Structure 1
Amino acid sequence: MTPATDTGSVRRLLRDPIGSTDEVIVVSDHVTVLREAVLVVAEADEDAPDHVRLLGTEGALSRACDDFLAASRAADLVEEERLSMRVSEQGHLPSLVITGGEGGDPNRQSAAGEVEDPSRHSDSGEVTTISPLPGNDAVAVRTDEADPVATIRSAFARSFSDAAEYEVGVPGYTRLLESLDVAVGPAVREDVASVMEAGVTVRSSADGVDEIDTILLVGGRNGAQLFELSEWAEDLGVASRATMSSRKRQLEAAGLLTTEKIRADVGRPRQRLLVAPEELRDSPPADLIRGARDALVDE
């Protein structure tokens, strides 16, 4: 087959090969390719592969998981055993989607009597090379020529097998939202889901709004109690109570949050979170986070 080429968004170019088979290896040192690959697998329904192996450089995997939605989706997929993520020791990797099985008779011999690589007699497969362009577009070149596909698949299957596991370090998307619903209520859960799906939250951001700020601001939009949010965050491993209190004070100092005291049945009065700027109080959740980010950047 003459290599076939295509152009389009990285996500679209990944969607076809990832959904075409039950066995997939994705290799890349490009942040966008790794992030979009996770989201494509998470969004796949009937076309979802049984399992995807994702091999990336440590820096690229870390930056891809700075996107809290991608990180939490990846955590879900790992927990469901639909995704494995590993760190390559190589400094550079091509961006490839490798499909097809790796079956075959391990004792099969060539005409010369030598044991052959079983991957050369595996199920049909393809290799798609993704070349990202400026912006979010890319060029894809796809080949299904048997020998090159088998060679590439065998090489990166070995690389993946030798690589160390990558720890995402965040709770899974499903568990995060379900636990928010129980701990704080459906309104906060729905707003957090809306913000994450809009892609406006960056994980552990030193310049802008991260997942902790998002939880507090969305809590303020719904009049949630700081105590309940902090207890939830600590139980889930998102942040300690001390971190939640410290970040709340920072948002207060920036003029984005305020609190009011409410009586508690036992102990000291608790604090109800409220969005401070009037112009942001009734904003849609994603617009609230964008407005808060702009305010923090302008400080």
Structure 2
Amino acid sequence: MTQQHISTQMIPERDEPALYINPNSEQIAAFAEEAVTVEDQPRVRLLADSDEIKDALYSFLTASKIAELIHRDQLSLRTLAEPVQNTIFTTESEAVVPVMGKYSISSSDPELVSSVYGEFDSRFEAAEQYHLRTPALSVVNQTLREEIGDATADELNEVLAHAEEISNSNEYLSIVEIMLILAARNEVLLYDISKWGEDTGIASKATFSRAKSALEDTGLIKTEKVPLDVGRPRLRLLATETIATADLKTLSTEISTPF
């Protein structure tokens, strides 16, 4: 059992709540990837260093899956106030500690397990909650269908299902850029997609506007003015040939970020 997969191998086999203590960012990401596929998994309380959580949440894919678990009430996420030497996964009946390489040590000794579980149960209850800004995947999908349309929602699902990485900022193609590109493929108004993004918690309207300008400057999308009866015209997003013919399965890696 590797350190990275210690939680994901145990969770589906357990019917009791668990504590996951001091995982690193890779372990957090691995946990989210596996746990989000288990609809009826027991609740996990995850307590980790704030920097490790932040590193894991840099990826929109990981952050949205963690948000989904929290949305389902299958996960609580809090930050360690004091360092812990080991990574520990414990229920009320078993404690597991990874040691080195592919090895781990587990124990079902009632006295030992009770001591470990009791210690970290107390630490978790005293710890501060970590507040995510990324919305849950199900919320993203539902609101996108309702407010923007099925075509854009279906394309986003296709991108997310095959993406290697999508960032919450700008080292990779960001989620904001992805949404603008998909909106352009479906000729959505900038106002509509940016309002949806702000209301959902993806990013502010200003962030969408800046990303739109960068994508337009690099020739990835175009805009046209749509006159209104009252007020300033709004901009409709349009796809260039590069975007219109892009393979959604490889969109996140083949389209370079303009930032």
The two structures have a TM-score, normalised by structure 2, of 0.87
CA distance in 2, matches of 1:161, 1:64: 22
Q: 1:15 to 1:22 in 2, by over 3 A?
A: same
In 2, Cα distance between equivalents of 1:98 and 1:265: 62
Give 1:180 deviation, angstroms: 0.6
Cα distance in 2 for residues equivalent to 1:142 and 1:264: 67
Amino acid in the other structure paired with 2:89? V
Is residue 245 of structure 2 the alignment partner of residue 282 of structure 1?
Answer: yes
Determine whether 1:157 maps to 2:121.
yes
Per-residue Cα deviation, 1:28-54 (whole angstroms, up to 9, x for no partner):
2410111222333321134x11x2100
Query: How far apart, CA to CA, are the structure 2 residues paired with 1:285 and 1:266?
Result: 37
Question: What is the RMSD computed on CA atoms of the aligned residues?
Answer: 2.5
C-alpha distance 239-45 of structure 1, shift in aligned 2 (>3 A): closer
1:57-91 residue CA offsets vs partner (Å, 9 max, x unmatched): 00001111122122222223323322111000224
Task: Report deviation, 1:186.
Answer: 0.9
Moved more, 53-62 or 150-159: 150-159
Tell whether 2:64 aligns with 1:72. yes
How many pairs were matched up?
A: 258
Match of 2:36 among 39, 42, 58: 42
Q: How much does 1:197 deviate? A: 3.3
Consecutive unaligned residues in structure 1, runs of 5 or more: 1-5, 101-124
Partner of 2:201: 237
SS of match in other structure, 1:271: strand
SS in 2 for 1:89: coil
Provide the C-alpha distance between the structure 2 equivalents of 1:129 and 1:282, rounded to a whole number of angstroms. Answer: 49
Sort the Cα spacing of 1:215 and 1:40 in 2 relative to 1 into closer, same or farther, 3 A.
same
* Partner residue, 1:178: 142
Does residue 15 in structure 1 map to residue 17 in structure 2? no
Asked if the contact 1:230/1:240 (under 8 Å) is kept, the reply is yes
Q: Is residue 59–residue 168 contact of structure 2 (8 Å, CA) maintained in 1?
A: no
Equivalent residues in 2 for 1:19-30 (5 A)? 19=12, 20-30=14-24
Percent sequence identity is 24
Structure 2: how far apart are the matches of 1:240 and 1:33? 30
Structure 2 gap segments, 5+ residues each: none
| TM-score (structure 1 length as normaliser) | 0.77
Deviation at 1:280, TM superposition (A): 4.2
What secondary structure does 1:94 align onto? coil
Larger Rg over CA atoms? 1
How far off is 1:93 after superposition?
4.7
